[in-house]
Amino acid sequence: MSAAITIFAVVKILVMIGFVFNIAALLTWVDRRQSSMIQDRIGPNRAVLKIGKFELRVAGLLHTAADGVKFFFKEDFMPPNADKILFSLAPILAMMPILALIAVIPFGDTLCTRDIVGHLKDGSWFWPSIPRWGVCGTNAGDHSYAIDMLVAPLNVGILYVFALAGQGIVGAAIAGWSSDNKFSLMGALRAASQMVSYEVAMGLSLIGAMMIYGSIRLDDMVRWQGDNAWGIFVQPVAFFLFFVAAVAENKRIPFDLPEAESELVSGYFTEYSGMKFGMFYFAEYMEVCTIFLGGWQLPFIHRDGLTIAFGDVTLARAPMAHWAVELIGVLAFFGKTIVLCSFQAFVRWSLPRFRYDQLMKLGWKVLLPLAIANIFATGVIWLALERLGPQVAAGLDVVASLTQALVAVAITAGLVGLVVGAMNPRKHSRSLAGTTAKFAEALGGSKETPMQA
C-alpha cells in the first residue's frame, strides 16, 4: 500500500501544480478578454495561427501562449549596480510560498479506496460503500484506506497558510531594494506597508469563522459548511473583510499602489524582464484561496449521494457512487476558484485606484475595527445560541438547509444564464456620441486604416 500512497501523493501534487499554473495563465487571458467586454471594445485578436487560408484566433487564447514563449526568450536584464544575488533571489521568494501553501488546501473530500486484497476477498469493486458520516480505513480487516485530497494534511491548517502568505512581503521588499532604482524602492516600501497592514485585518477576519467551525484545519472547515451552511451565510461580515483584504494582499486594482504605472512605472519589478518578471506575474495570480464558499461542497450532496432535507424532513434521496461524489466535489472546488478569480477580474476593471492615504485609512480605520467588532459579535451571538436550547438548534438546522437551497437555485440560475448568454451573444450597434462624430458621419464617415502592430 505504500507504493499506492506514493502514487496518490504524486498525482495530488501534479493536480494542484497543474491547476495553479494553468489558472494563472488563463487569468492573463481573462484580464484582457473580460476588460474588453466591460469596456465594449475589441479584445485580444492579434495572435493568429495561420493554416493555409484559415486563421485560428481561439478567442484570444493564443496571446497567453505567445506571452509564455516570449518570457523564455526575452533578455534577462540586470541593472549594473544591482545586488545580483538578491535581485535573482527575489522572484523565487515571491513565487515559492505560493506553491508551498497550496499543499494544505483541500480540493476534495477524503477518498476511500480498497486495495487488491480486499477486492479479491469479497468481489467488491475498489470503491467501498461510504456512509454519510464516519471515516473509512479504521478497520484494517476490510482492506479499505482513506486518502486525504490534499498534499499535506497538517494540523496547523490556516496558520500555515498565513505563515507562508506573509513571506510574499519579503520578495517584494528585496526586489525593490536590490534593483538600484528609486521607483522600485518606492514600490517595495508601498508593497511592504500595504501587505503588513491588510495581513492584520485578514487574520482577524478569520477568527470569527474559526470560532464557529471549531477548527483551524481547512478540511474540517469545509466539512462543517457541508453539514450546516456556507461560511458566507454564518460570517457575512468576515467574508467581506477577507475578500477586500485578499484583493489588497494580491496588490490588484483598486489596491495596485505598489505597481501604479502612472506613478512608479511598474513599481518593485520595474527592472525585471524575461522569466524573472514572469515569476512575479504568475505569483500575483496564484494567490487565491477560499474559506467561505464551502470548498468542494455542493448543496445537498454528501458522501453517500444526494439528500434533500429540511430539518428532520427528507424530501428526496438518491444514492451515488463514491467516485462520482468525489469527482463532483473536485470539479466544484476548481469551478468555485475560477468563478472567484473571474469576479476579482470584474472588480479590477470596474473600480478606480485608491490614493495611498485612502488605502491605509481603509485598512487601519475601517477593516481592522470591523474585524475586531465581528469577533466580539460572533462570540456573544454564539454563546447566546448555545444557551437557548435544542428547539433553537433545530430551527437553525432548517435555516441552514434553506441557505443550501438558495445556493442550489443560484448555481442553477447561473449555469442556465451562462448557457443562454453563450448561445445568444450580444449584438453591437453603432451610435453617434458627439458632434464630431456627427460631422464625420455627414461627410461620409472616417477612413479606416490597417491596424499597426
pLDDT value of residue 438: 66
Identify the CA nearest to 263 among candidates 359, 166, 366, 361.
359
pLDDT value of residue 447: 62
Find the helix or strand (DSSP H, E) in which 333 lies. Answer: helix 322-348
Cell of 324: 462520482
Strands 144-147 and 305-310: unpaired
Question: Alpha-carbon distance 337 to 333, whole Å?
Answer: 6
How many Cβ atoms sit within 10 Å of the Cβ of residue 104? 22
Q: Using alpha carbons only, what angle is made at residue 359 by residues 24 and 270, rounded to the nearest 5 degrees? A: 50
Q: What is the DSSP string of 91-127?
A: HHHHHHHHHHHGGG---SPPEEEE-HHHHHHH---SS
DSSP percent split of the chain into helix, strand, coil, nearest 5: 60, 5, 30
The gap from C-alpha 311 to its chain's centroid, in whole angstroms, comes to: 32
DSSP H helix total and E strand total for the chain: 18, 7
Please give the C-alpha separations between residue 77 and each of 74, 173, 270, 435, in angstroms, as whole numbers.
9, 19, 11, 49
Q: Are 153 and 107 in contact (CB under 8 A)?
A: no
Q: Is 424 helix (H, G, I), strand (E, B) or coil?
A: coil
Identify the CA nearest to 212 among candidates 340, 374, 392.
374
Question: Alpha-carbon distance 246 to 289, whole Å?
Answer: 9
Residue boundaries of the structural domains of the chain? 2-110+148-415
Q: Is 291 helix (H, G, I), strand (E, B) or coil?
A: coil
User: Considering Cα of 386, then 221, then 163, then 239, what sign does the dihedral take?
Assistant: negative
Query: Exposure string (b/e) for 311-331, b if CB count within 10 Å is 16 or more?
Result: eeeeeeeeebebeebbebbbe
pLDDT value of residue 118: 46
Q: What is the DSSP string of 204-247?
A: HHTHHHHHHHT-S-HHHHHHHHHHS--HHHH-HHHHHHHHHHHH
CA distance between the termini of the chain? 58
Give average pLDDT by consecutive 10-residue segment, the chain, 453 residues: 72 80 75 76 75 75 75 72 78 77 80 56 52 58 68 78 76 77 79 82 85 83 83 87 82 76 69 61 47 76 79 78 82 83 79 82 88 90 80 78 85 83 68 62 63 48
AA letter at 309: A
Identify the CA nearest to 130 among candidates 304, 267, 7.
304
Cell of 338: 475560477
Looking only at Cα atoms, what is the longest distance across the chain?
88
pLDDT value of residue 370: 92
AA letter at 82: A
pLDDT value of residue 86: 81
Strands 301-302 and 313-319: unpaired
pLDDT value of residue 306: 80
Question: Alpha-carbon distance 323 to 16, whole Å?
Answer: 19
Q: Are 197 and 360 in contact (CB under 8 A)?
A: yes
Identify the CA nearest to 206 among candidates 196, 195, 217.
217
| The residue to which cell 447566546 is assigned | 384
Q: What is the pTM of this model?
A: 0.77
Q: Are 143 and 117 in contact (CB under 8 A)?
A: yes
Peptide bond into 254 cis (omega under 30): yes
Question: Alpha-carbon distance 303 to 324, whole Å?
Answer: 10
pLDDT value of residue 120: 41
Q: What residues contact residue 91 under an 8 Å CB cut-off, 6+ apart? A: 171, 175, 272, 276, 277, 279, 280, 283
Q: Are 241 and 207 in contact (CB under 8 A)?
A: no
pLDDT value of residue 430: 61
AA letter at 414: G
pLDDT value of residue 131: 65
pLDDT value of residue 275: 58
